[in-house]
Amino acid sequence: MGRGRAKAKQTKVARELKYHSPNTDLTALQRELAGAGKSNHDFDDDYKEYVDDDDEDHADEDPDPWVRPTR
């Protein structure tokens, strides 16, 4: 039975978020967006030596022996 108060609080918070925007630091946003030009792929992959690149080479082999063939 106590859901009415919780729902009212939730509605109040949602209304505040919808109609009252917080102060936005536009210079910080501009700095963040300006720095986004860097590629995220400029890192050393520590696990590169463990990757098995031969998966594509085995496409012509028999399918999984544990799978029942379709009729």
**Tens digits of per-residue pLDDT, 35-50?**
865 555 666 778 878 8
The pLDDT of residue 7 is: 94
DSSP output for 6-51 = HHHHHHHHHHHHHH-PPPP-HHHHHHHHHGGGS-TT-S--TTGGG-
**Which pTM does this prediction carry?**
0.31
**pLDDT score of 10 more than 90:** yes
Q: 50 lies in a domain?
A: no
Give the span between the Cα atoms of 22 and 14, in whole angstroms: 13
Q: 53 lies in a domain?
A: no
User: In terms of pLDDT, which residue wins out, 8 or 39?
Assistant: 8
Q: 60 lies in a domain?
A: no
> Where does the pLDDT of residue 12 fall: very low under 50, low under 70, confident under 90, or very high at 90 and above?
very high
Q: 12 lies in a domain?
A: yes
Q: Which domain, by its residues, includes 8?
A: 1-34
Q: Region 45-71: what's the mean pLDDT? A: 70
Q: 9 lies in a domain?
A: yes
Domain count, the chain: 1
